[in-house]
Amino acid sequence: MKRIQVVILDLDGTLIDERGTTDRAFLAAGRLLHEHVGIAPDRFARVARVTAQRLWWRATWIDPLSDAFGISAWDGLSENFERAVPALDRMRAWLPAFRQAAWKLALDNVGAAGRGLAEAVGAVYTQHRHEGVRLLPGAADLVETLVREQRRLVVLTNGPGDGQRRKLGSSGLLEYMRGLVISTEVGFAKPDPRAVSLAIERAGGRYEEAVVVGDTYDRDVLGAFACKVPAIWITDQPASHRPQNPLAVPVRSTRAVLPALYALESLPAHLIPLNGQADQQNKPSPELGQ
């Protein structure tokens, strides 16, 4: 019997090449503009990215929401946050105005205002975000192997429900998942201990047989620690810069996750940092979360 029965997988940067998709979407918007006004595509891509981010953060009420749900300006440009909890109603209502203003201002910033192109560049960005989803190297093998080994997989992700579901569907991974936990749909986000707790519940598993796999220390790793669940942390940080914690196993890429999981599992029982002592109230564990 495998010790680790439940594998809780982050999505962006762990299974999906989110950064690449976003880069390509901005660049595609830049290419469209280039066809019309001859501005270098990468220049517009750069300006549009910065402009959208500034505009997003300028709305001061967004800050706590972004933090609470793990959402970004890139999502705001392309997703509608369907099925989001009521706490996000204000943001959902604001999104059309945000998009319009972001593209208009970006065009203005490269001297291409007044040509009526805002809607077209926005549509190209959205289309590429939706259709250009790619898996990270090793992600498909990881998921298929874990399922073949009869482990139960759950995706635990901060982000928009529509966007995250679309990524999973178009990448072909959705069918392998026992469940999804998406921050904007459940009302809390990693590292809130309720997130890992709910993922384990949806897998029909227990704390002591779970592991979290993710690429963001503050979200994935601390979210796991909050439930005293070990984490496999995908990171390119040099060892000297990494927070040290015996519950976190650092790996360089998604390809290295499976060997790390086997190594974790093969440790003698008394050395395995599997929890089994998770706080039943699911409160954060300050001694592990620092």
User: Which residues here bind Mg ion, judged by CB under 5 A?
Assistant: 10, 12-13, 215-216
In whole angstroms, how close is the CB of 172 to Mg ion at the nearest point? 19
Minimum CB separation from Mg ion for residue 33, in Å?
30
Pick 10 or 208: Cβ nearer Mg ion: 10
Is 29 or 156 the residue whose CB approaches Mg ion more closely? 156
Angle CA 137–154–83, to nearest 5: 105
Residue nearer to Mg ion on the CB measure, 29 or 180:
180
With the CA atoms of 72, 20, 262 and 282 taken in that order, what torsion angle do they form, in degrees rounded to the nearest 10?
Answer: 0
* Residue 12 C-beta: closest distance to Mg ion, Å: 4
DSSP string, 206-219: -GGGEEEEES-III
Output the residue with the shortest Cβ distance to Mg ion.
13
Nearer to Mg ion, 192 or 208 (CB): 192
Shortest gap between Cβ of 268 and Mg ion (angstroms)?
31
Contact (Cβ atoms closer than 8 angstroms) between residue 53 and residue 101: no
59 or 256: CB nearest Mg ion: 256
> Is the CB of 112 or the CB of 198 nearer to Mg ion?
198
Q: In the sheet where 179-182 sits, what is the strand order?
A: 179-182, 152-157, 6-9, 210-214, 231-234, 248-251
Question: Of 9 and 247, which CB lies nearer to Mg ion in the complex structure?
Answer: 9
DSSP assignment string, 1-60: --S--EEEE--BTTTB-HHHHHHHHHHHHHHHHHHHH---HHHHHHHHHHHHHHHHHHST
Whether the Cβ atoms of residue 207 and residue 275 lie closer than 8 Å to each other:
yes
Q: Tokens for 40, please give them.
A: 């270098």
**DSSP letter for each residue of 225-243:** HTTT--EEEE--S-GGGSP
Nearest distance, CB of residue 119 and Mg ion, angstroms: 31
- Give me the least distance between CB of 6 and Mg ion, in Å please: 18
Least distance (Å) from Mg ion to the CB of residue 11? 7
Provide the β-strand partners of residue 181: 156
Note if the bond before 238 is cis, omega within 30 degrees: no
